[in-house]
A and B are shown apart, each in its own frame.
Chain A
Amino acid sequence: MGITDFLTMRHEVLLTILAILVLIIDLNLKPAHKHRIIPIVLSLFFIHTVIGFLPTENGVLFGGMYHTSALTVMMKNILNVGVLIILLQSVTWLRKPDNKEKMSEYFLLLFSTLIGMYFMISAGDFLMFYLGLELATIPIAALAAYTHHQTRSAEAGIKLILSSALSSGILLFGLSLIYGSTGSIYFDKVGELFSNSPMQILAFIFFFTGMAFKISLVPFHLWTADVYEGSPVNVTSYLSVISKGAASFIFIIIHFTVFHSIAYVWKDIIYLIAVLTMTIGNLFAMRQKNMKRFLAFSSIAQAGFILLGILGGNQTGMTSVIYFVLVYIFSNLGAFGVVSAISAVTGKESMDDYDGLYATNPKLSLLMTLSMFSLAGIPPVAGFFGKFFLFTSAASGGYYWLVFIAVLNATISLYYYLLVVKAMFINKNDSPLAYFKSDIPTRIGLLLCMAGIFVLGFWSQIYEIISSFSFGILY
């Protein structure tokens, strides 16, 4: 492998080295000093993230199975930043005595899934895509069952692996139909050969169903809430932010490269699924009392909004989806960061425990409020811009009624996001959670989220960069 090839796939190579390093370092640490792995891994991953931002050239490897472009690099960088924040947020929790023996496992599993996502995003054919997808999914099941002595966590792991096995099966069936009817698994070839024969439409529907499981679109969302609730908070945030973001990225890429010729089929399907996902996600989110379940359902609803951008089906749509995912990563991680900080210190995860939080922990409450506003799409924070551009892209396709339904749903979602704000600011509580100081990594993580929530919106440069990248994969 030459140096140019290395540069082409440096994300994957570096992270693989990093994952192996985790094992080696862990082996050489004395049991009393196991926690020293945390700062080492954090700094290594930080370096990895920075290297990811170095300029790159487009390249194709393995005969077209793998390709890199400015767009894929940027998607990977977005994921890297998100993972970095999650790592920072998990430090307090990892330091707990329960997790002392298995810190390196956490990092290893996390990095494995991230490598899977890299391959998935860079995939040039369905084989690489499927490999990446599985690599990105199976270790997460182990992560979900990380605190395996707790029944709920073990249950979450089993549920995740079973439902993802099922969805992978469906997806594979769709892929086999695609291969059978076109004789190729390469995206660009399949895209050329794809027509509107019934078998190919069936293939698309199976493929779509499999992906819908991964992104947890209604009606394939039923695993989400239980898995999210059972997993440790940081795994939940990883699932709902990074996994979902990566799956959305590949989802749009494949829609535009492979299935562009049957757009008239998937536009109707996506229209319907978007309405269902937003509405049902919202209606369920309203009733949740556990913060993790609450965020799980709210993230289902958010996935419905992402579909609006896909439906736009043009440059604006692509840009707005990527931009929205970027904003969503920061806002949702802000919310999860607060939940995780509180859960790590006090073990409380119910919304009632947040009553009167502003009196004791004003900074955390403020960040939570900003995240909630950003998720709901309220200016001046970034979520407003993210949602607005999604709506713009849907309107550019003439879907005014869908935009109307979506904005109404955004209003409904505002209701339950405000419930959290209400709990912290308005509800009276005789014994609110005691004041506590978060440790430095958590604070850095939260600060990053806050900066992202504020800066991403006003700083139009970011949107413009994304908008310039998205070219190239459109047909």
Chain B
Amino acid sequence: MNILSLFVLIPVLTIIGIVFTKDLKQSRIVSAVGMGLQLLMAGLLVYLYLAERGAGNTAAMLFKYDVVWFPTLNIHYSVGVDGISVAMIALTAIVVFAGIFASWMVDYLPREFFISLILLASGVFGFFISLDLFTMFLFYELAVIPMYLLIGIWGSGPKEYSAMKLTLMLMAGSALLLVGLLGIYFNSAAGGGQLSWDIQQIAKIHIPIEMQRFLFPFTFIGFGILGALFPFHTWSPDGHASAPTAVSMLHAGVLMKLGGYGAFRVAIYLLPEAAHEQAWIFLILTSISVVYGAFGAIWQKDLKYINAYSSVSHCGLVLFAVLMMNQTAMNGAVIQMISHGLMTALFFALIGMIYGRTHTRMINEMGGLMKVMPFLGVAWVIAGLASLGLPGFSGFVAEMTIFVGAFQHTDVFHRVITILAVSSIVITAVYILRVVGSLLFGPIKDDHFLKLGDANWYERLSTISLIVSIAAIGLAPLWLSNMIGQSLIPMVQKITGITVAGLF
């Protein structure tokens, strides 16, 4: 059995296990065991990967496993990982694990909840290990659809509206994506030979430039919608605000990363000339995402909306960095994906925990919570500082790398757009500090807050597992950025090795 296939198999087995459970206690234990195992597997994968690389294995993809699925269409079930996917898998495993513990007390239809949650996770894992565009697309859609049930059934607020909006917008995104993928497939024999869905096969081929010009917007926007590309980000605040805690964590933490990952693994890597030509349009859009998201977060009063807009801003930064198309910035993009995934998951977990106690998410109704729940308060401060990029946490490493990479472009357009994007750091500081101030400090606004307790063991477990990861990346970023950087080299060579000049 290939180790990578286990990452899909374990969630599936966990789901089958949950089907046979009777109540909340049983199903959450089965889920925790399954996803705990998954976390161990992810750790093992990182170890094995580093060991292989240390032993001098320089193949682009490791642990490859390839079996023909639909011979006539040359569709394969093909899996393999490089440093980037290993990092993303580790991120997913951590967030899902934390998410299970954050939803320890789901009392309404718990079985169905955990089944949908883990189904979503299996889609995400499958996406990150896929090397075949068809399998990748299949897992992509598999990850999106459980969101409807998760938000619609277990959500809060205008949940039906949000769930429908999110699902339809993401599916419209996959409509664009499908056209792009089919176009890539039917041009994958440009150099002669058989049509192929295999990413690495296609990367060796030069797709005609006219087709690239046509296909790139489809593919990039298709992934970009999931990565909250302005102006297609509107599903994100509503969806995140209405979703139950674990779903917000998973969605902002992991699912949105599918967009960023796909954008460079498929859109830019396979259609590099068009990417160079059209990058400026999307750079403008992503820098709007970055700044607009941050401004949006300032205006919000609901904690979940604040964090949702902040996700728009941070995920915009991922796409922004990807479009810079050089080694440093893309390295930063991947670190940002991981860093933001952990950070935002932590934020949403904390919001869920605080909301479970105060029954409000409005910042003006809360205050002084640090006195009554010091553990959650400190965790919140840590998440906030990581989010605004304090050295020592993952956010600093990511943003620093991105902006250094972005500044390597010497022309005016890139400089201006980078300066614009950098300004978001200041705005981020504004909304983070504002929330920290009015939520945790100051007088206690409501007397019944005094009776509230601090975090339970399962909440602590969930929170600590995320904080440790954030600090680990912040304090020792080198092993991560080396792992990513090595794998980026061949990709960046392909992307930058072309001679077509862009508009700027």
B175 touches A410 (CB 8 A): yes
B residues 64-96 touching A (CB-CB < 8 Å): 69-73, 75
Of the candidates B148, B159, B176, B182, which one forms a contact with A418 in the assembled complex, judged by CB atoms under 8 Å apart? B148
- Other CB < 8 Å A-B pairs besides A400-B182, A403-B179, 5 of them? A379-B138, A400-B183, A414-B168, A418-B164, A426-B159
Instruction: Determine how close the nearest CB of chain A comes to the CB of B234; give it in whole angstroms.
Output: 16
Closest 3 A-B residue pairs measured CB to CB? A407-B175, A395-B182, A411-B171
Residue of B nearest to A315 (CB): B72
A415 touches B178 (CB 8 A): no
B73 touches A389 (CB 8 A): yes
Question: In the complex, what distance in Å separates the CA atom of A388 from the CA atom of B487?
Answer: 31
Chain A interface helix/strand/loop/mixed:
helix
A residues 48-88 touching B (CB-CB < 8 Å): none
Residue of A nearest to B138 (CB): A379
B73 touches A316 (CB 8 A): yes
A422 touches B152 (CB 8 A): yes
Residue of A nearest to B123 (CB): A379
Q: Which residues of B contact A396 (CB under 8 A)?
A: 186
Q: Which residues of A contact B75 (CB under 8 A)?
A: 460
From known contacts A418-B167, A464-B72, A467-B72, infer whether A378 and B160 are also in contact, taking CB-CB under 8 Å. no
From known contacts A379-B142, A380-B138, A404-B179, infer whether A464 and B70 are also in contact, taking CB-CB under 8 Å. yes
A residues 404-433 touching B (CB-CB < 8 Å): 404, 407-408, 410-411, 414-415, 418, 421-422, 425-426
Answer whether residue B16 sits at the interface, using C-beta atoms and an 8 A cutoff.
no
Instruction: Determine how close the nearest CB of chain B comes to the CB of A459; give it in whole angstroms.
Output: 10
Answer whether residue B37 sits at the interface, using C-beta atoms and an 8 A cutoff.
no
Annotate B476-498 by CB proximity to A: 1 below 8 A, 0 otherwise.
00000000000000000000000
Q: Which residues of B contact A421 (CB under 8 A)?
A: 148-149
Answer whether residue A319 sits at the interface, using C-beta atoms and an 8 A cutoff.
yes
Of the candidates B73, B142, B176, which one forms a contact with A380 in the assembled complex, judged by CB atoms under 8 Å apart? B142
Answer whether residue B153 sits at the interface, using C-beta atoms and an 8 A cutoff.
yes
A391 touches B178 (CB 8 A): yes
Answer whether residue B214 sits at the interface, using C-beta atoms and an 8 A cutoff.
yes
Instruction: Determine how close the nearest CB of chain B comes to the CB of A328; give it in whole angstroms.
Output: 19
B residues 180-210 touching A (CB-CB < 8 Å): 182-183, 185-186
Number of interface residues of A (CB under 8 A): 32
Instruction: Determine how close the nearest CB of chain B comes to the CB of A325; give it in whole angstroms.
Output: 18
User: How many A-B pairs with Cβ below 8 Å?
Assistant: 84
Answer whether residue A164 sits at the interface, using C-beta atoms and an 8 A cutoff.
no
Q: Which residues of A contact B175 (CB under 8 A)?
A: 404, 407-408, 410-411
Q: Which residues of A contact B167 (CB under 8 A)?
A: 414, 418
Answer whether residue A297 sits at the interface, using C-beta atoms and an 8 A cutoff.
no
B residues 124-174 touching A (CB-CB < 8 Å): 134, 137-139, 141-142, 145, 148-149, 152-153, 159-160, 164, 167-168, 171-172, 174
Q: Which residues of A contact B149 (CB under 8 A)?
A: 421, 425
Number of interface residues of B (CB under 8 A): 35
Chain B interface helix/strand/loop/mixed:
helix
Instruction: Determine how close the nearest CB of chain A comes to the CB of B393; give it in whole angstroms.
Output: 37
Q: Which residues of A contact B168 (CB under 8 A)?
A: 411, 414-415
B186 touches A395 (CB 8 A): yes
Question: In the complex, what distance in Å separates the CA atom of A410 from the CA atom of B171?
Answer: 9
Question: In the complex, what distance in Å separates the CA atom of A380 from the CA atom of B15?
Answer: 14
Question: In the complex, what distance in Å separates the CA atom of A391 from the CA atom of B174?
Answer: 13
Q: Which residues of A contact B153 (CB under 8 A)?
A: 425-426
Q: Which residues of A contact B176 (CB under 8 A)?
A: 404
Q: Which residues of B contact A460 (CB under 8 A)?
A: 69-71, 75
Answer whether residue A137 sits at the interface, using C-beta atoms and an 8 A cutoff.
no
Q: Which residues of A contact B138 (CB under 8 A)?
A: 379-380, 384
Residue of A nearest to B154 (CB): A426
Instruction: Determine how close the nearest CB of chain A comes to the CB of B226; give it in whole angstroms.
Output: 14
B145 touches A373 (CB 8 A): yes
Annotate A368-395 by CB proximity to B: 1 below 8 A, 0 otherwise.
0000010000111000100011011001
Answer whether residue A206 sits at the interface, using C-beta atoms and an 8 A cutoff.
no
Q: Which residues of B contact A426 (CB under 8 A)?
A: 152-153, 159-160
Annotate B323-346 by CB proximity to A: 1 below 8 A, 0 otherwise.
000000000000000000000000
Instruction: Determine how close the nearest CB of chain B comes to the CB of A186; give it in whole angstroms.
Output: 31
From known contacts A373-B145, A380-B142, infer whether A463 and B182 are also in contact, taking CB-CB under 8 Å. no
B160 touches A422 (CB 8 A): yes
Of the candidates A319, A415, A464, A467, which one forms a contact with B164 in the assembled complex, judged by CB atoms under 8 Å apart? A415
A408 touches B141 (CB 8 A): no
Q: Which residues of A contact B142 (CB under 8 A)?
A: 379-380
Question: In the complex, what distance in Å separates the CA atom of A389 from the CA atom of B70?
Answer: 11
Q: Which residues of A contact B164 (CB under 8 A)?
A: 415, 418, 422
A425 touches B172 (CB 8 A): no
Instruction: Determine how close the nearest CB of chain B comes to the CB of A256; give it in whole angstroms.
Output: 18
Question: In the complex, what distance in Å separates the CA atom of A398 from the CA atom of B186?
Answer: 9
Q: Which residues of A contact B174 (CB under 8 A)?
A: 407
Question: In the complex, what distance in Å separates the CA atom of A384 from the CA atom of B137?
Answer: 11
Can you name 17 A-B pairs with beta carbons within 8 Å? A379-B145, A380-B138, A388-B134, A389-B73, A392-B182, A395-B186, A398-B186, A404-B176, A407-B179, A414-B171, A422-B152, A422-B164, A425-B153, A426-B160, A460-B69, A460-B71, A464-B70
Question: In the complex, what distance in Å separates the CA atom of A373 from the CA atom of B164?
Answer: 14
B residues 30-72 touching A (CB-CB < 8 Å): 69-72
Residue of A nearest to B143 (CB): A379
Question: In the complex, what distance in Å separates the CA atom of A380 from the CA atom of B178?
Answer: 16
Question: In the complex, what distance in Å separates the CA atom of A407 from the CA atom of B178?
Answer: 8
Question: In the complex, what distance in Å separates the CA atom of A333 from the CA atom of B306?
Answer: 46
Question: In the complex, what distance in Å separates the CA atom of A338 from the CA atom of B75?
Answer: 34
Instruction: Determine how close the nearest CB of chain B comes to the CB of A312; give it in whole angstroms.
Output: 11
Instruction: Determine how close the nearest CB of chain A comes to the CB of B165; give it in whole angstroms.
Output: 10
A378 touches B145 (CB 8 A): yes
Question: In the complex, what distance in Å separates the CA atom of A408 from the CA atom of B145?
Answer: 16
Residue of A nearest to B175 (CB): A407
Instruction: Determine how close the nearest CB of chain A comes to the CB of B348; give it in whole angstroms.
Output: 22
Question: In the complex, what distance in Å separates the CA atom of A300 from the CA atom of B73?
Answer: 28
Q: Which residues of A contact B178 (CB under 8 A)?
A: 388, 391, 403, 407
Q: Which residues of A contact B160 (CB under 8 A)?
A: 422, 426
Instruction: Determine how close the nearest CB of chain B comes to the CB of A42; give it in whole angstroms.
Output: 31
Question: In the complex, what distance in Å separates the CA atom of A177 from the CA atom of B422?
Answer: 73
Q: Which residues of A contact B70 (CB under 8 A)?
A: 460, 463-464
B residues 239-273 touching A (CB-CB < 8 Å): none
Residue of B nearest to A373 (CB): B145
Instruction: Determine how close the nearest CB of chain A comes to the CB of B13; give it in whole angstroms.
Output: 15
Q: Which residues of A contact B141 (CB under 8 A)?
A: 378-379, 384
Question: In the complex, what distance in Å separates the CA atom of A373 from the CA atom of B75?
Answer: 22
Instruction: Determine how close the nearest CB of chain B comes to the CB of A457; give it in whole angstroms.
Output: 9
Question: In the complex, what distance in Å separates the CA atom of A411 from the CA atom of B148?
Answer: 13
Residue of A nearest to B122 (CB): A380
Instruction: Determine how close the nearest CB of chain B comes to the CB of A320; give it in whole angstroms.
Output: 10
